[in-house]
Amino acid sequence: MNTQIIDGKLIAETIKSELKNKVLTLKEQSITPGLAVILVGENPASQVYVNNKKKACEYVGMKSFSYELPAQTSEKEVLDLVETLNNDNHVHGILVQLPLPKHMDEQKIILKIDPAKDVDGFHPQNVGALSIGLEGLVSCTPAGVIELLKRSEIEIAGKHCVVVGRSNIVGKPVSLLLLREHATVTICHSRTKNLETVLKQADIVIAAVGITKFITGSMLKPGVVVIDVGINRDENGKLCGDVDFKSCQSVASHITPVPGGVGPMTIAMLMHNCVLAATNQGGASN
Ligand code: NDP
């Protein structure tokens, strides 16, 4: 099989370059998109994500406002900060880096974010908009998956897409987006019976399970498109996905690697959401 490896890094760079131009246009209208990132506690992985987000903002010409708070910060202090940022017209996007410390109610904090500034797309208003086909901010990783497919010229309409995973962050929203693109969608999860039989029928597989090398080539139909959302570590501590790349590559027509597939798209789509939010809100001065 002449398999095409989808280069998520390259596609993400292209998106960020396009956004650079959009930011320049907004700046001509005296609008500089601004992203506020709230990080509570000293989770090393979260710190890496937050730094990458700051760098991406700089690259596309946006402002970033960083709030790095100690782990013992109270829920009320975070809610008050979100309220302040909701009312700050230099801030067009607000992102609360998850997970939060255990003494905080994540849902309560997400609910506090102005849906127009909810660039993670986690607010129930944006989730609801997605499910009934209204405009809204779509969460970044699922939006990145769709963008990867489209920019790789993979037709989605009429295709049987099997999504493995039903989380609120990946599985469910990506399923809704695929449906919006007119795919026939099957959602699988830990209680799915005969997963292999279902997978064998897929034209496009989206793996969002969180288990190292869970999907192998023998489970798939030749010519399938494989999108691996997973970010795991293998037995040697090496970054790997939910898909066994080697065996799946031999049957797939297209496949995403880990790293360098879906991962870089998440940040690119976050920048996209910030620019969209700034465009929708307008008004803030440079
Ligand atoms: P969750 O743990 O929230 O969800 C995992 C899903 O997989 C659940 O719906 C679960 O089913 C299902 N599942 C678990 N075991 C099985 C099984 N044996 N058979 C079928 N389904 C199963 O994970 P997330 O959705 O948050 O993340 C999934 C992966 O994507 C992770 O590796 C994560 O690190 C990665 N990720 C990557 C991002 C990126 O930027 N590339 C962003 C976000 C996540 P059930 O609901 O029944 O428990």
Residues 160 and 52 in one domain: no
Residues 78 and 183 in one domain: no
pLDDT digits (tens, 9 = 90+) for 11-40: 999 999 999 999 999 999 999 999 999 999
97 within a domain of the structure (yes/no): yes
Report the distance separating Cα 269 and Cα 221, nearest Å: 30
Mind listing the pLDDT tens digit for each residue in 190-233? Answer: 999 999 999 999 999 999 999 999 999 999 999 999 999 999 99
Angle of helix 171-180 versus helix 140-151 axis, rounded to 10? 40
Q: Is residue 15 part of a domain?
A: no
Give dist(CA 142, CA 245) in Å, integer: 20
Based on the fold, state whether residues 110 and 150 are members of the same structural domain: no
The pLDDT of residue 283: 58
Q: Are residues 109 and 147 in the same domain?
A: no
β-partners of residue 65 are 36
Residue 222 lies in a domain: yes
Amino acid sitting at position 112: K
**Joined tokens for residue 194:** 């005969």
**What domain count does the chain have?**
2
Residue 148: name the closest of 96, 206, 197 by CA: 206
Last residue of a domain, one of 80, 114, 148: 114
The pTM of the whole model exceeds 0.85: yes
Tell me the best of 140, 209, 242 to mutate to test the pocket of ligand 1, counting ligand atoms within 8 Å of each CB and taking the most. Answer: 209
Catalytic residues: 53, 97, 120
Domain interval for residue 233 = 140-263
Residue 272 falls inside a structural domain: no
My answer on whether 185 and 240 are in the same domain is yes
Ligand 1, residues 164, 167, 232: which to mutate, most atoms within 8 A of Cβ?
Answer: 167
Question: pLDDT tens, 218-227?
Answer: 999 999 999 9
Single residue among 99, 114, 129 that ends a domain in this structure: 114
Which residue has its alpha carbon closest to ligand 1 atom 47? 190
Residue 86 belongs to domain with CATH number: 3.40.50.10860
In a domain, 14, yes or no: no
Cβ burial 89-115 (10 Å sphere, 16+ → b, else e): eebbbbbbbeebeeebeeeebbbbbbb
Report the C-alpha gap between 169 and 126 in whole angstroms.
Answer: 12
